[in-house]
Amino acid sequence: MARPSPVQLRLQFFFAATALLAPLCASSADAVRDTPYFGALAVDVDLRDAARKIFHVHETIPVKSGSLTLRYPKWIPGEHSPSGTLDNLTGLKITARGKTVEWRRDLVDMFSLNLKVPEDVTQVDLTFDYLSPGEGGKFGQSASATPGLAELEWNQVAFYPAGYAVRQIPVQTSIRIPAGWHFASPLEKSADQDGTIRFAQVSFEQLVDSPLFAGQFYKQIDLAPGAAVPVRLNVFGDRAANLEITPDQIAHHQALVKQAVGLFGAQHYHHYDFLFAVSDRTGSFGLEHHQSSDDRIYADFFTDPELFSFGAGLLPHEYVHSWNGKFRRPAGLATPDYNVPMEGDLLWVYEGLTQYLGNVLTARSGLWNAQQYRDALALTAAQMDHVPGRTWRSLQDTADAAQRLYFEPRAWVSSRRAVDYYPEGELVWLDVDTKIRELSGNKHSLDDFTHAFYGIDNGSMKVTPYRFDDVVATLNAVQAYDWRAFLMQRLNSHEVGAPLDGLARGGWHLTYSETPSAMFKASEKAGKVTDRSYSLGIRVSAGEDKGNVFNVIWGSAAFDAGLIPGMTIIAVNGEEYSSEELDTAIAAAAKTRKPIALLVKNTGSFSTLQVTWFDGQKYPQLTRVDGQPDRLADITAARN
Ligand SMILES: [Zn+2]
């Protein structure tokens, strides 16, 4: 998913929903049998109306007469939330032998439809339209179709019969796409006739795990030339100019594959397809799958070096998930179907370790140089070091509450806390890695853990669940230590500052400079934001709603002056607001030691607030710790 450092960008993409309560959990979980379903479903999707954001669907489901419950996927893998796109279905008709079959929604579980299948009927037909979202929304609820491309997640266009594990339900699929369009998917094409493209039968689980992108402008790049296991980068965009990828960019993505396979020592896919949309007209996020990832980022990603540097960690992150998240999965997230609730308590491993390894691989592959890696890490460290909310909410609680936190408002995030198991998880795993290196005299590292934990059963795609004790045991096998206490302390801490021990053991500490790093500037450009979090304590829009205060850090100078998220800054020291005027005022205040006067608009009322801040500009950076070995350099060096 989800990153002003690539982390934070992803964090912007979280949205809100309502979880249902215990009775549903019990009824849907208890009813799931792990035995084969008695027939194959068929899902046929017509994407030729993608320009109007309407996907037409026909589905057939083999049935037996009597009571039947059909479920629409609710808990979406990788979104860790009950975020199924139920509200986008329209025009649903269920028929059998051409006659209407009446249905009624379950009164508790909105995602379940109950119906009575007539005698001697062996199959029901469903027709409906999926209304692909417009502006706003996150993940699968964000814009996914433009006049030039369509991004299809199968969980949005298919019901499944209740009572069977989804891995036991076979399904056949086909698509139709506009003339002249191309498509890419980890599904294997079996036929292409009269404009209908058919795919080899898979399980319903594998189908939901196999998104499909289609579009007019398309480029496929071989990321593993000559390798036995293919890895392909499939790029789609709204304009041909967005697909101009440099030889260096290709070479670094090829290096990513080599470095990742080396890091884990096994592959858990038969082939891997990055489905990559570079578009400003669809949502921006990453969603992991076993043999692919659904990746969406800025239109100018390949052609704007700043945006490239800032977003370079997206594909490495999602690729790591093939091992960490898909093959090996926390037991609470390895559910038998999409209506059994998920438990997110180990997301600091699932997402936190992925964030750490993804960024390490971004550096090892050359997508970032060592300086860019450190500058991105400085952003993460500073962000997490300004979270007063940690005094009430532990890192563990952010994981426990994940299904809510992806949806929460962004205002006051420093006090609420967000899905901090990504950025703070990265710091914790850096802590683990440097500790292993220190204790073992550099003989061992987290690379040994990744080999032991993920490098098993080469070629297997069978989900292999784990629990907290398995993580501790594997760490102990790599390097004896009280890892349980080490991790528990960090997970349950209410200390004010971020866990920065790993950074120090890596030879670096977090300091602040008067000038922003290139990565910091790139983060502002990508986020269309003027970020003065570490001086005044505010993030202000630099986009169309310029001057709108996105966020105020709890307890900062801006907070003390009365600023709140949602205000608009109209003027700075009597001059019309611009980021330049704001910086002029910060510099002036450092000299005159007079407060900065901000004329603000607060839901229709105007007032002038006085911000007392005399310490000038502060931008995060890492500086060397004297006498400490540069373990960050060792960690990020390419492996042969
Ligand atoms: Zn992730």
Contact 380, 503 (CB under 8 A): no
Q: How far apart are CA 343 and CA 22, in angstroms?
A: 13
Q: What is the pLDDT of residue 640?
A: 84
Q: What is the pLDDT of residue 508?
A: 98
Q: What is the pLDDT of residue 2?
A: 47
Q: How far apart are CA 621 and CA 524, in angstroms?
A: 15
Report residue 172: phi and psi, to 5°: -110, 145
Contact 279, 299 (CB under 8 A): yes
Give me ligand 1 centre to Cα 291, in Å: 15
Q: What residues contact residue 577 under an 8 Å CB cut-off, 6+ apart?
A: 546, 547, 569, 570, 571
What's the Rg (C-alpha) of the chain?
25
Beta strand 596-602 with 605-611 is: antiparallel
Paired with 158 in beta bridges are none
Q: What is the pLDDT of residue 27?
A: 45
Q: What is the pLDDT of residue 28?
A: 46
> What is the full DSSP assignment across 510-522?
EEEESS--HHHHH
pLDDT band at 4 (very low <50, low <70, confident <90, very high): very low
Q: What is the pLDDT of residue 1?
A: 53
Give me ligand 1 centre to Cα 44, in Å: 30
Give me ligand 1 centre to Cα 143, in Å: 20
Give me ligand 1 centre to Cα 530, in Å: 26
Q: What is the pLDDT of residue 6?
A: 40
Give me ligand 1 centre to Cα 360, in Å: 14
- Each residue's pLDDT tens digit, 478-530: 999 999 999 999 999 999 999 999 999 999 999 999 999 999 999 999 999 99
Q: How far apart are CA 531 and CA 591, in angstroms?
A: 21
Q: How far apart are CA 499 and CA 149, in angstroms?
A: 43
Give me ligand 1 centre to Cα 602, in Å: 36
- Each residue's pLDDT tens digit, 464-475: 999 999 999 999
Please say if the pLDDT value at position 19 is more than 70: no
Give me ligand 1 centre to Cα 625, in Å: 31
Give me ligand 1 centre to Cα 456, in Å: 21
Report residue 180: phi and psi, to 5°: 85, -5
Q: How far apart are CA 66 and CA 317, in angstroms?
A: 46
Give me ligand 1 centre to Cα 585, in Å: 39
Contact 372, 519 (CB under 8 A): yes
Give me ligand 1 centre to Cα 355, in Å: 7
- Each residue's pLDDT tens digit, 293-309: 999 999 999 999 999 99
Paired with 68 in beta bridges are 115
Q: What residues contact residue 5 under an 8 Å CB cut-off, 6+ apart?
A: 313, 376, 377, 379, 380, 383, 423, 519, 523
Contact 539, 412 (CB under 8 A): no
Contact 428, 502 (CB under 8 A): yes
Give me ligand 1 centre to Cα 276, in Å: 15
Q: What residues contact residue 221 under an 8 Å CB cut-off, 6+ apart?
A: 232, 233, 235, 245, 250, 253
Give me ligand 1 centre to Cα 263, in Å: 18
Q: What is the pLDDT of residue 314?
A: 98
Give me ligand 1 centre to Cα 353, in Å: 9
Give me ligand 1 centre to Cα 163, in Å: 29
Helix axes 446-454, 247-264, angle to 10 degrees: 70
Three-state secondary structure string covering 235-266: EEECCHHHHCCCHHHHHHHHHHHHHHHHHHCC
What's the mean per-residue pLDDT of the chain?
94
Task: Tell me which residue of 427, 359, 424, 429 sits closest to 398, measured CA to CA.
Answer: 424
Q: How far apart are CA 554 and CA 131, in angstroms?
A: 40
Q: What are the start-end ranges of the H helices in 385-499?
A: 395-400, 402-405, 413-416, 423-439, 446-454, 468-478, 483-492
Give me ligand 1 centre to Cα 201, in Å: 28
Reported in sequence order, the residue ranges of 250-323 that DSSP labels E, i.e. its strands, are 272-278, 285-288, 292-297
Give me ligand 1 centre to Cα 74, in Å: 19
Q: What is the pLDDT of residue 618?
A: 98
Percent helix, percent strand, percent coil in the chain, to nearest 5: 35, 25, 40
Give me ligand 1 centre to Cα 223, in Å: 21
Give me ligand 1 centre to Cα 290, in Å: 13
Q: For a pLDDT cut of 90, what percent of the chain falls above it?
A: 94
pLDDT band at 595 (very low <50, low <70, confident <90, very high): very high
208 Ramachandran zone, left/alpha/beta (phi>0; psi -120 to 50): alpha
pLDDT band at 30 (very low <50, low <70, confident <90, very high): low
Give me ligand 1 centre to Cα 288, in Å: 7
Type of residue numbered 118:
P
Give me ligand 1 centre to Cα 294, in Å: 11
Give me ligand 1 centre to Cα 363, in Å: 18
Give me ligand 1 centre to Cα 378, in Å: 20
- Each residue's pLDDT tens digit, 73-97: 999 999 999 999 999 999 999 999 9
pLDDT band at 136 (very low <50, low <70, confident <90, very high): confident
Give me ligand 1 centre to Cα 403, in Å: 14
Give me ligand 1 centre to Cα 423, in Å: 11
> How many other CB atoms sit within 10 Å of the CB of residue 170?
19
Contacts 24+ apart (CB under 8 A), 457-460: 457/266, 457/268, 458/265, 458/266, 458/267, 459/266, 459/267, 459/268, 459/270, 460/268, 460/327
Degrees to nearest 5, angle at CA 185 with 331 and 80: 25
Contact 198, 172 (CB under 8 A): yes
Give me ligand 1 centre to Cα 213, in Å: 20
Q: Which two tokens stand for residue 593?
A: 């030691």
- Each residue's pLDDT tens digit, 34-77: 999 999 999 999 999 999 999 999 999 999 999 999 999 999 99
Helix axes 423-439, 446-454, angle to 10 degrees: 110
Hey, what's the torsion of the CAs at 131, 132, 136, 139, to 10 degrees? Answer: 130
Give me ligand 1 centre to Cα 351, in Å: 5
> How many other CB atoms sit within 10 Å of the CB of residue 333?
21
Give me ligand 1 centre to Cα 316, in Å: 10
Give me ligand 1 centre to Cα 286, in Å: 7
Give me ligand 1 centre to Cα 126, in Å: 34
Give me ligand 1 centre to Cα 96, in Å: 42
Give me ligand 1 centre to Cα 492, in Å: 22
Give me ligand 1 centre to Cα 321, in Å: 7
Paired with 165 in beta bridges are none
Report residue 603: phi and psi, to 5°: 40, 55
